[in-house]
Amino acid sequence: MLTRKVLLVGGGVLVVSVIVIYAGLYFATQSLFDHIDVNNALNRAELVHSALFHEVDAIDSFCADWAEWDDTYNFVLNRNMDYVESNLVDETFPTLNVNYIVYLDRNGEVVLAKGYDLENETAMNPSQPLIERFRELSARNDLDVKKGFLRFDNSIYAFSARPILRSDETGPYAGTLIFARIVDDSFIQSPSKIAGLSFKILPVPKEKSVKFVNESALLVEFPLEDYSGRVVGTIEFYAEREALGILSSLYLPLAFAGTAVGILVVLGYLLFVKRAVVDRVERLAESLGRIMEKGAGRVEVEGCDEITLLEKRINELLDAISGKIEEVEELNQNLRLVNKLMRHDILNDLTSIQLAVEVLKEEGMNDGMVMNIERSVSRIADLIRRVRTLEEIMGREAELVEIDLKDIIEEIAEKYNVEVEVEGETMFMADKNVVSVFDNLISNSVRHGNADKVFIRGEKRNGKCYVTFSDNGSGIPEEISDRIFEEGFSTKGSGLGLYIVKKLMSRYGGEIRLLSASPATFQLVFKC
C-alpha cells in the first residue's frame, strides 16, 4: 500500500511538475518571441521606408542635373522653345522615370508643365489643381531644395523641387524645376526588390502599428511622411512570424528537457542537476563570453544529451558566422581592389584630359566650355581623393603619432593661396590623414566662404588639445549649419568633405564642433 501511495503521489507530483514546466516554458518564451517578431517587422518597415526614399533620391539626382544647367536657366528666362523641342519630348519621361516636369519662374508662375502616362505611354496634361499644388514647392532662394513625398487628390507623389541655377551651380536662381512621379504599383517595384517583400502604400495617414493576424503572420502599418514631416500615407504589408516558427521548432526539445528536469526534481536528484545541468550551462556561458571577447573560438562539447546537442548547434552556428565573416571580408578586399584600380584608371584619364585642357588654353581656347571641363576634372579628382581618404578611415584602426600642425598647414595654405595665422599649442596626436581635416576646412573657407585668411589657435587643457579654426569669409548659412556634418549633405560638390572630417576626428578619439556660423568657427578636440 505504501509503495502504491508513493507511486501515486510521485506520479501526481510528476504530472503537475511537467504541466507547470511546459506551461511556464511556453508563456515565458511566447511573449519574448512575440516581441522579437514585432521588432523584426518594424525593422523591415524601416527598410521599406529607406528603399522608398532611395527612389526619391534617384528622382532628385536627375532633377539636380537638369536644374543646374545653363540651357534650363536660359529657357526659364527667355522662353526658348528650341529647348522644349530638343529636351522635353515624350521619350524624356520614361528615361527620367517621372510623370511630371514643371518649370516655375522666380514668382512661382508656371513657365511650362508637361505630363506623361508611363503605363500607357501617352502624353497627359497636369490638372490645374495639381499645378497649384506644385507651385507650393517653389524655391525661395538658391539653396531651397525640397524632396520627398506629397499627397494630392487621394494620390501620393514622389518629387524633387530644386532652384534653377547655372551649370556652375551659381545664382541668382531663375526659378524652380519640379520632377514628380506618381506612387503606383510600378513605382514600388524597385523598393520591393530592395526590401525583399511585397507591400502597398495607402493614401491614408495611420499611426505605426504591428497587429497579430494569426499564428504565422503580422500586419504592419508604417507612416509615410511628406517633405514637411506630415504623415500623408501608410506603408502596409504582411510579415511572417519567423521567431514564432523558431519557438515552435525549439519547444519540443525544451519540453523534453523540462520533463527530464521535472523527473529529476521529483526524484530529488538535486546534486545531479547541479553537476549535469547548472555547471555545464555556466561553463557554456563562460565559453560564449570568452568567444565574444576574442571574436573567435569554439564551445567545448562534452557528454551526450540535449545540452551537448545545443553545444554542437552553437559550434555549427559559430562556424557559419565565421564563414560569412570571411566571405564579407573577401568581398570587402575585392571591392577595395576594384575601387583602387578604378581610381587609378580614372585619375590617369583625368590627367590626360587635364593635359589636353592645358594645350587648348595655350592655343588660346579659354572659352567657358574649356573652363567647365577644367573645373569638372578638378572636382572629380578631388572627389576621388576624398573617397580614398574615406576608404582609409574605414579600413583600419588609426596609428596615432605626435603631429605638429605647423608642419602641414603651410603647404595647404599655399595650395589655396590663403593667408594663415597660427598661434598657441600646435602639437597633438593624429595620423597622416589629419591633412585632410585642415585641407577640407580651408577648402570650404575659400570656395564657399570666399575667405582669404584663416586663423588657427591651439591650447592644451585638461589633458586634451583644443584647436580653434576660423576665417574672415562670409560664413555658413544658419539654415544649414546643423546639417553640415551629415553624410552626403552638400549645396555643392559630393557632400563628403565635412563628413570625412567628422569621421577622422572620431577615429582620433576626438571630435569637431561648429562654434559659430558667421564667421565660420570650428573647434577640434585631439588627444595630446
Encode pLDDT of 216-270 as tens digits: 889 999 999 988 889 989 999 998 887 766 666 665 676 677 677 767 766 664 5
Reply yes or no on whether the pLDDT at 342 is more than 80. Answer: no
CATH number, domain of 495, equals 3.30.565.10
Q: Could you tell me if 97 and 181 are in contact, meaning their C-beta atoms sit under 8 angstroms apart?
A: yes
CATH number, domain of 189, equals 3.30.450.220
Same domain membership, residue 460 and residue 384: no
- According to the model, what pLDDT value does residue 196 have? 87
- According to the model, what pLDDT value does residue 220 have? 92
Residue 301 is assigned to a structural domain of this protein: no
The C-alpha cell of 505 is what?
576626428
Same domain membership, residue 463 and residue 381: no
- According to the model, what pLDDT value does residue 1 have? 46
Q: Can you give the pTM of this predicted structure?
A: 0.46
Q: Decide which of 390, 407, 437 is a domain's last residue.
A: 390
Reply yes or no on whether the pLDDT at 396 is more than 80. Answer: no
- According to the model, what pLDDT value does residue 163 have? 97
The region of weakest confidence among 71-80, 145-154, 191-200, 336-345 is: 336-345
Confidence grade of residue 272 (pLDDT, cut at 50, 70, 90): low
Residue 28 is assigned to a structural domain of this protein: no
Percent of the chain past pLDDT 70, that is, above it, reads 77
Q: What average pLDDT does range 62-74 have in this prediction? A: 95
Reply yes or no on whether the pLDDT at 394 is more than 70. Answer: no
Same domain membership, residue 259 and residue 344: no
Q: Decide which of 340, 363, 390 is a domain's last residue.
A: 390
| d(C-alpha 116, C-alpha 139), whole Å | 24
Q: Could you tell me if 527 and 465 are in contact, meaning their C-beta atoms sit under 8 angstroms apart?
A: yes
The residue among 369 and 198 whose pLDDT is bigger is 198
Reply yes or no on whether the pLDDT at 2 is more than 50. Answer: no
Confidence grade of residue 380 (pLDDT, cut at 50, 70, 90): confident
The residue among 197 and 491 whose pLDDT is bigger is 197
Same domain membership, residue 499 and residue 365: no
Burial of 37 (0-12, 13-18, 19+ CB in 10 A): buried
Q: Where are the beta strands (DSSP E) in 70-145?
A: 100-105, 110-117, 122-124
Encode pLDDT of 493-523 as tens digits: 444 568 878 888 888 889 999 999 888 999 9
Q: Which residue has the cell 593667408?
A: 419
Find the farthest-apart pair of alpha carbons in the chain and give their distance in angstroms, rounded.
120
Q: What average pLDDT does range 167-190 have in this prediction? A: 93
Residue 283 is assigned to a structural domain of this protein: no
Amino acid letter, residue 235: I
Reply yes or no on whether the pLDDT at 305 is more than 60. Answer: yes
Same domain membership, residue 494 and residue 369: no
- According to the model, what pLDDT value does residue 128 have? 94
Residue 44 is assigned to a structural domain of this protein: yes
Same domain membership, residue 454 and residue 412: yes
- According to the model, what pLDDT value does residue 494 have? 44
Residue 24 is assigned to a structural domain of this protein: no
Same domain membership, residue 343 and residue 439: no
Q: What average pLDDT does range 416-438 have in this prediction? A: 90
Same domain membership, residue 222 and residue 364: no
Same domain membership, residue 143 and residue 81: yes
End-to-end CA distance of the chain: 85
- According to the model, what pLDDT value does residue 301 have? 80
Number of domain units in the chain: 3
Q: What average pLDDT does range 399-423 have in this prediction? A: 89
| d(C-alpha 276, C-alpha 266), whole Å | 16
Q: What average pLDDT does range 91-95 have in this prediction? A: 94
| d(C-alpha 398, C-alpha 509), whole Å | 10
Same domain membership, residue 417 and residue 365: no
- According to the model, what pLDDT value does residue 323 have? 76
Same domain membership, residue 415 and residue 384: no
Nearest Cα to 21, choosing from 309, 251, 277, 249?
A: 251
- Provide the domain limits for residue 226: 36-264
Chain centroid to Cα 33, Å, comes to: 28
Same domain membership, residue 403 and residue 359: no
Q: DSSP code of 302? A: -
Residue 433 is assigned to a structural domain of this protein: yes
Residue 346 is assigned to a structural domain of this protein: yes
- According to the model, what pLDDT value does residue 399 have? 80
Residue 319 is assigned to a structural domain of this protein: no
| d(C-alpha 61, C-alpha 427), whole Å | 43
Q: Decide which of 390, 418, 433 is a domain's last residue.
A: 390
Confidence grade of residue 433 (pLDDT, cut at 50, 70, 90): confident
Reply yes or no on whether the pLDDT at 6 is more than 60. Answer: no
Number of residues that make up the chain: 528
Q: Across the chain, what does the average pLDDT equal?
A: 82
Please tell me which of 97-106, 229-238, 268-277, 396-405 the model is most confident about, judged by mean pLDDT. 97-106
Which positions ≥6 away from 302 have C-beta within 8 Å? 280, 308, 311
Q: DSSP code of 480? A: G
